[in-house]
Amino acid sequence: MSCVWFIPVIAGISFFLTAQLRKYALSRSLMDVPNARSSHSTPTPRGGGVSIVVAFLFALVLLFLMGRIPLAHFLAMAIAGAIIAIIGFMDDHGHIAARWRLLGHFSAAIWFLAWMGGLPPVEVFGIDVSLGWAGHVLAAFYLVWLLNLYNFMDGIDGIASVEAICACLGACLLYWLSGLDSLMWGPLLLAASVAGFLFWNFPPAKIFMGDAGSGFLGIVLGGLSLQAAWLSPSMLWAWLILLGVFIVDATFTLFRRLLRGDKIYEAHRSHAYQFASRRFGKHLPVTVTVGVINLFWLVPIAVCVTRFGLDGALGVMLAYVPLIVLAVKFHAGELEVPLVKN
């Protein structure tokens, strides 16, 4: 039975649920009020990313019942994603100490890896390298970093949604070209879940994603990359390329703040995309540029890795060099110089 009808259904669920969440947030005054560390200037409802969570978890249930994904993959992604979403939801509505959040994040990552088999062999310069238990530990940190960086990068209208959709649709193209059609439904339906939300989140945003949605996207995208890597080692490199905009900006900013001795758990607005949005005076050009970089730079390199023999490590380096240049150009990790009024 065809699953094509899932796509509009899942997008529709996300769309209508986001509308209801916006009404709920407005009625309960669950607003993101601008402050000195914000990249927006108007109080905006938050927590809309819950619609992505609900829509995609429903999609996973349908895929499992239709026999499109095995039980282990269903349990890995659904439970790990739900744990992260619940932690994010609680943090959106109050505050959870950083150490407890981190404990929950690692618990979800370990759960996912236990069901998925850990880190698959990694292909480096044509040689499959199995890292054993060290690889599983590395994979746990990889998942935790992805879900946190996705939270860090969800700071201007539409950027996290556009990144997820581009990465997912790029992965679908790679799977189709590589004969891995069975893997397409996960990223395709995640893209549909995000698309329904993006209608409300596109600049100027009518509702924000919140930690529940951004953290969920981070761990699910990381999970999809490991799932694909078990069938084709080059796919892990391809996913790292597809997520390059977020990985480079967040990682470069983190290291720069660490070297300066900043408290990295404190909110800030020193990512390259945040500096860029202030330079242009609006969010739309930056969000659109992220989509353009994905479609016309990162996706072609990922295709070269999976279809034309480009080594994955070299592909990542090729993809990341211009992104690092952009991070430097837009002062990623630098202290914001306050404007002095005469």
Tell me how many degrees the CA angle 174-179-182 measures, rounded to the nearest 5: 90
Q: What is the pLDDT of residues 147-166, one digit of tens each?
A: 999 999 998 999 999 999 99
Kindly tell me if the per-residue pLDDT of 340 is higher than 80: no
CB 89 within 8 A of CB 253: no
Q: Read off the amino acid at residue 121.
A: P
Mode of pairing for the β-strands spanning 44-45 and 127-129: unpaired
Tell me how far apart the alpha carbons of residues 153 and 137 are, in angstroms, rounded to a whole number: 24
Which has more pLDDT, 34 or 246? 246
Where residue 35 falls among pLDDT bands split at 50, 70, 90? Answer: low
Where residue 3 falls among pLDDT bands split at 50, 70, 90? Answer: confident
Q: For residue 161, which of 210, 195, 119, 114 has the smallest C-alpha distance?
A: 195
Mode of pairing for the β-strands spanning 122-124 and 127-129: antiparallel
Those residues with Cβ within 8 angstroms of residue 211's Cβ, 6 or more apart along the chain or in another chain: 49, 87, 88, 89, 91, 92, 151
Those residues with Cβ within 8 angstroms of residue 179's Cβ, 6 or more apart along the chain or in another chain: none
Cα distances from 21 to residues 26, 44, 54, 88, 200, in angstroms, run 9, 12, 12, 15, 11
Evaluate the CA torsion angle 105, 203, 48, 185 in order and state its sign. Answer: negative
Backbone torsion region of residue 38, taken as left when φ is above 0, otherwise alpha when ψ lies between -120 and 50, otherwise beta: beta
Tell me how far apart the alpha carbons of residues 225 and 9 are, in angstroms, rounded to a whole number: 25
* pTM (two decimals): 0.94
The pLDDT assigned to 204 comes to: 92
3-state class of 128 per DSSP? Answer: strand
Cα distances from 117 to residues 104, 124, 239, 326, in angstroms, run 20, 20, 18, 36
The pLDDT assigned to 315 comes to: 97
Least confident of 22-36, 168-182, 248-262, 275-289: 22-36
Tell me how far apart the alpha carbons of residues 311 and 116 are, in angstroms, rounded to a whole number: 25
Q: What is the pLDDT of residues 71-126, one digit of tens each?
A: 999 999 999 999 999 999 998 777 788 889 999 999 999 999 999 999 998 888 77
CB 132 within 8 A of CB 106: no
How many CB atoms are closer than 10 A to CB 125? Answer: 9
The pLDDT assigned to 159 comes to: 97
Tell me how far apart the alpha carbons of residues 3 and 229 are, in angstroms, rounded to a whole number: 24
